[in-house]
Amino acid sequence: MKVWIDKFRMRSLSFTFAILATLSVGILLGSVMAHGVDGKESKVDSSDAKPLQVPSPVNLSTTFTQIVKEDGPAVVNINTISIPKASHAQQRFPGNPQGNPNAPDGNGPDQEGPGDQGQQGPDQGQNGMQDFFNHFFGFGGPQGPQGEAPDGGEREALGSGFIVDPRGYIITNNHVIDKADKIYVKLSTDGVGDQGHPATLVGLDKETDIAVLKINVDHPLPTVKLGNSDGSQIGDWVLAIGSPFGLNQTVTAGIISSENRSIPQAGPIGAGEFQHFIQTDAAINPGNSGGPLVNMNGQVIGMNTAIYTQSAGNEGIGFAMPSNTVINVYNQLIGPEHKVIRGSIGITFQAAMSSAVSRVYGFKNGVIVSSVQPGFSAANAGIKPGDIIVSIDGRQIKDGNDLINDIASRKPGTKATLGYIRNGQHATATVTIGDRDTMMAALNSGGRGGSANGPQQSGQGKLGMGVSNVPQELATKLGIQGGVIVRSIRPGSFADGLQLGPGALILQMNRQPITNAEQFQEMASKLKSGDDVVFLVMDPQNPDRGNSYVGGTLP
Q: Annotated active-site positions, please? A: 175, 209, 289
Residue type, 542: N
Distance CA(373)–CA(351), nearest Å, equals 17
Please report, as a single letter, which amino acid is at residue 481: Q
- C-alpha distances in angstroms, 164 versus 34, 323, 334, 443, 463? 73, 12, 12, 37, 57
Eight-class DSSP state of 93: B
Per-residue exposure over 464-501, b if at least 16 CB sit within 10 Å of its own CB, e if not? bbbbbbbeeebbeebebebbbbbbebeeebbbeebebe
* Most distant CA atoms of the chain, gap in Å: 129
Cα–Cα nearest to 533, from 553, 548, 515: 553
What amino acid is encoded at 48 in this protein?
D
Separation CA 415–CA 430 (nearest Å): 7
Residues in the chain: 555
Distance CA 368, CA 354 (A): 12
d(Cα 251, Cα 140) in Å, to the nearest integer?
19
How many Å apart are CA 226 and CA 321, to the nearest integer? 13
- H/E stretch holding 76: strand 75-82
Residue 485: name the closest of 514, 452, 461, 512 by CA. 452
Measure the CA–CA gap between 490 and 519, rounded to whole angstroms.
20
Region of residue 279 (left: phi > 0; alpha: psi -120 to 50; beta: else)? beta
Q: How many CB atoms lie within 10 A of CB 12?
A: 10
- Beta-ladder partners of 367: 389
Helix/strand/coil for 325? helix
Would you say 287 and 137 are in contact if contact means Cβ atoms under 8 Å apart? yes
Per-residue HEC secondary structure of 170-194 comes to EEEEHHHHCCCCEEEEECCCCCCCC
Q: Name the DSSP letter for residue 543.
A: G
Q: Are 276 and 294 in contact (CB under 8 A)?
A: no
For residue 359, the SS3 value is helix
